Amino acid sequence: MSKTYTAKDVAEHKDDQSGVWIIVDSAVYDVTNFLDEHPGGAKILKRMGGKNATKQFWKYHGDSVLTKYGPKLKIGDLAETAKL
């Protein structure tokens, strides 16, 4: 079973200390260990830490990016949109 997180949980993870989590669509990703690997750079990703990055994500990437990295980085779903 996948975990669910609230937007508040995600908002508490926005720096090196707490970890960097982002929301894309209804999923939560922990990109803490991906920051230095990100081809678009750590800075732009860090800036979205704790936030809903859906709009920014789809502006720069296609489905294939989530197919490739999603399984590695996804930690759960957003509680508000989780289907029971």
How far is residue 1's CA from residue 20's CA, in Å, rounded to a whole number?
22
User: Going edge to edge, which strands form the sheet with 14-15?
Assistant: 3-5, 74-78, 27-30, 19-24, 14-15
Q: What is the size of the binding site for ligand HEM (CB under 6 A)?
A: 18
2 interacts with ligand HEM by CB under 6 A: no
How far is residue 41's CA from residue 56's CA, in Å, rounded to a whole number?
14
Q: Which stretch binds ligand HEM (CB under 6 A): 7-15, 23-31, 76-84?
A: 23-31
How far is residue 48's CA from residue 60's CA, in Å, rounded to a whole number?
14
User: Given the complex with ligand HEM, which of 10 and 45 has the nearer CB atom?
Assistant: 45
How far is residue 1's CA from residue 32's CA, in Å, rounded to a whole number?
22
The nearest distance, CB 29 to ligand HEM, in angstroms, is: 4
57 interacts with ligand HEM by CB under 6 A: yes
Query: What is the contact surface with ligand HEM in residues (CB under 6 A)?
Result: 22, 24, 29, 31, 38-40, 44-45, 48, 53, 56-57, 60-61, 65, 69, 73
